[in-house]
Amino acid sequence: MQLLAQGQGGKKEQIEAKRIAFYTEKLDLSRSEAEVFWPVYREMNKQLLELRKEMKAKRKGNVSEISDNELEKLLDDMIDFKQKELDVKKRYHEEFKDILPIRKVAKLYHAEEQFKKRMESSKSKPPGAQQRPRR
């Protein structure tokens, strides 16, 4: 069990290292920009992760096995979660505008989408499958 946990942690660290390299390249961050940007970005992700964990804990169980009142509460909680998530993103959007030029903020959002798509496509490929080079 210990080895499995270490393997999973190592995988998360690898993904985070890839994310940092990818974003740094796509945003063309200078050393000084990176020193300011990454702590803020990590804090935002930490807050978003906490929100997602909280929502995931509430979503346990089979929807077909809960009462209508419980289902209504769950759906209301999901909408509240989306609003909280948006509030966090809006707050950090303002911080990003304070620490980066606006074009780099735009590049950040684009890089997030690109990285997400890249990670999703790598999940669907069998291990060892080569990716086609981008042109």
Check: CB of residue 115 under 8 Å from CB of residue 19: yes
User: pLDDT tens digits, residue range 49-96?
Assistant: 999 999 888 887 777 888 899 889 999 999 999 999 999 999 999 999
How far is Cα 40 from Cα 55, in angstroms, rounded to an integer? Answer: 23
**Closest of 50, 59, 53 to residue 78, by C-alpha:** 59
Give the global pTM: 0.76
The answer to whether residue 134 scores a pLDDT higher than 70 is no
Check: CB of residue 51 under 8 Å from CB of residue 85: yes
Average pLDDT, rounded, for the chain: 87
How far is Cα 78 from Cα 74, in angstroms, rounded to an integer? Answer: 6
**Closest of 10, 28, 26, 46 to residue 117, by C-alpha:** 26
Domain ranges of the chain: 2-124
